[in-house]
Structure 1
Amino acid sequence: MDQPLELSNITFSYGDGELRRAVLKDVSLSVAPGEIVILTGPSGSGKTTLLTLIGALRGMQEGSCLVLGQEMRGASEAARVALRRRIGFIFQNHNLLGFLSARQNVAMSLELHGGMNDADRLKRAGEMLAAVGLAEHADKRPAQLSGGQRQRVAVARALVAEPGLVLADEPTAALDRASGQEVVRLLSDLARRRGTPILLVTHDPRILDIADRIVAMEDGRIIDTSAASSPASH
């Protein structure tokens, strides 16, 4: 099977002229099917910028970024939109729509995928919420849920369309220990059962043990890659 993610010599800068500042410098990285890779490093080291390039949220500048078989260097906006539909995104701020129920928030992710009517989407969303332990909360709005529950809704939304790749940016940062571990367990189960690769940015030392590899970044470069002390078994 091809690598879901293959980065070669990624360089990216913000600004122009004298204000130009390189935030990624010659970054190369690959992620295999079913592998959980955690990116760590101080704030400003380029982790989130790298995630936005991989997720086709930002245009490439230099290097090669092959995501799910699609080259992002020089890709059209239409190609980037199409790729984003195949990626599950999980953010620190769960970005749920407050006027929709948990079920409706999750079902929204399926609207981009043809072949399903509203009833099918809501049924699938309900099944996904049950899978993350929120069956009894499917019809509640985000304001009626705890922080951990809202983040689990966000996880369900990211996973419901069975993405080829999951990108997570600080998914446990705002959660207590128990809620954070629950979110991490869900992601680990996904990688094992479906072979879905996960690239996760975190400062949270509590969750490093789910990783197959830990990649440390500093000043826009990868400075170290190591196997986790207790790698997840796939």
Structure 2
Amino acid sequence: MAAPPVDLKSITFAYGAGELRRAVLRDVDLTIAPGEIVLLTGPSGSGKTTLLTLIGALRAMQDGTARVLGQELSGASEAERVRLRRRIGFIFQNHNLLGFLTARQNVAMAMELDGGLNETQRLKRAGEMLEAVGLADHAEKPPSQLSGGQRQRVAVARALAGDPGLILADEPTAALDKVSGQEVVHLLRDLAKGRGVPILLVTHDPRILDIADRIVAMEDGRIVSGAQEATVGGEAA
């Protein structure tokens, strides 16, 4: 059986030091199976975003073990974490598109570190991804000429353009209306499922719970429900 893309054991993390030290994660265990879509829910301050940034190698580990896409993050160097980040697609509440670039150029940027593709190939691939998210007619527009939902679609295309092994999304629907939000997450689900890419999505949005294979709830830095892998097709994922 293939190793899970995400396998966390006893993850503990705190901010500050001494009297100012504040624990935000406490003995978190979490495994995500290939192709699984996991929603991470819970009140503000429960540790969801901190956990996401640790999995995404955006922060250095403190205690516990975390194996992500085959890379052990406990004790990993900055160079090792940078290499892992290149294999992960990130989507955030604020789409983080560059305003001076077109939609196509924003998506192509995600592939610039791939030495196997030249600029022409990157732009072609970016155009294909924009077509996949329904924005073929908007490829040459800057973000200022796109709606909020369209900008998030560009962010989805950018996250998937480099064929990542994992998608991490932090409140991707928070700034969108109900219709746009559901369109974006269902599109993300369909594209990721088609490629067998697992998704971990932090959300407060009850409107999108139907996309999940599993819902994991956090409270006070701990997982309080949903820690076990989902069952797919009668077998544990």
**In 2, are the aligned partners of 1:38 and 1:215 still within 8 Å (CA)?**
yes
- RMSD between aligned alpha carbons? 1.7
**In 1, are the aligned partners of 2:8 and 2:67 still within 8 Å (CA)?**
yes
* 1:179 and 2:171 matched: no
**In 2, are the aligned partners of 1:188 and 1:210 still within 8 Å (CA)?**
yes
Q: Distance in 2 between matches of 1:9 and 1:49?
A: 15
TM-score by length of 2: 0.95
| 1:105-144 correspondence runs (5 A) | 105-144=106-145
Q: Distance in 2 between matches of 1:144 and 1:79?
A: 38
Which residue in 2 is equivalent to 1:91?
A: 92
| CA-CA distance at 1:191 after TM superposition | 3.3
- The letter of the residue matching 2:38 is V
- The letter of the residue matching 1:25 is R
Which residue in 2 is equivalent to 1:224?
A: 225
- The letter of the residue matching 1:166 is I
Find the residue that maps to 1:167 and give its secondary structure: strand
- The letter of the residue matching 1:153 is V
Which residue in 1 is equivalent to 2:48?
A: 47
**In 1, are the aligned partners of 2:31 and 2:227 still within 8 Å (CA)?**
no
Unaligned segments of structure 1, at least 5 residues: none
| CA-CA distance at 1:6 after TM superposition | 0.1
| CA-CA distance at 1:157 after TM superposition | 0.4
Which residue in 2 is equivalent to 1:167?
A: 168
Q: Distance in 1 between matches of 2:70 and 2:59?
A: 18
| CA-CA distance at 1:98 after TM superposition | 0.3
Find the residue that maps to 2:99 and give its secondary structure: coil
| CA-CA distance at 1:216 after TM superposition | 0.3
Q: Distance in 2 between matches of 1:186 and 1:114?
A: 28
Q: Distance in 1 between matches of 2:191 and 2:146?
A: 23
Q: Distance in 1 between matches of 2:183 and 2:224?
A: 30
Find the residue that maps to 2:90 and give its secondary structure: strand
- The letter of the residue matching 1:53 is L
Find the residue that maps to 1:156 and give its secondary structure: helix
Q: Distance in 2 between matches of 1:25 and 1:56?
A: 18
Q: Distance in 2 between matches of 1:49 and 1:197?
A: 19
| CA-CA distance at 1:226 after TM superposition | 7.5
Find the residue that maps to 2:131 and give its secondary structure: helix
* 1:200 and 2:204 matched: no
Cα 1:49–1:226, aligned 2, differ >3 Å: closer, same or farther?
A: closer
Identify the range of structure 1 (180-189 vs 207-216) with the bigger mean alpha-carbon deviation.
Answer: 180-189
**In 1, are the aligned partners of 2:9 and 2:29 still within 8 Å (CA)?**
yes
**In 2, are the aligned partners of 1:35 and 1:191 still within 8 Å (CA)?**
no
> How many positions carry a matched residue from both structures?
231
Deviations 1:65-97 (A, max 9, x none): 100010000001110000000000000000000
- Identical aligned residues as a percent: 76
Q: Distance in 2 between matches of 1:45 and 1:119?
A: 44
Deviations 1:96-147 (A, max 9, x none): 0000000000000000111111110000000000000000000000001000
Which residue in 2 is equivalent to 1:58?
A: 59
* 1:191 and 2:192 matched: yes
Find the residue that maps to 1:206 and give its secondary structure: helix
**In 2, are the aligned partners of 1:10 and 1:28 still within 8 Å (CA)?**
yes
| CA-CA distance at 1:34 after TM superposition | 0.5
| CA-CA distance at 1:192 after TM superposition | 2.1
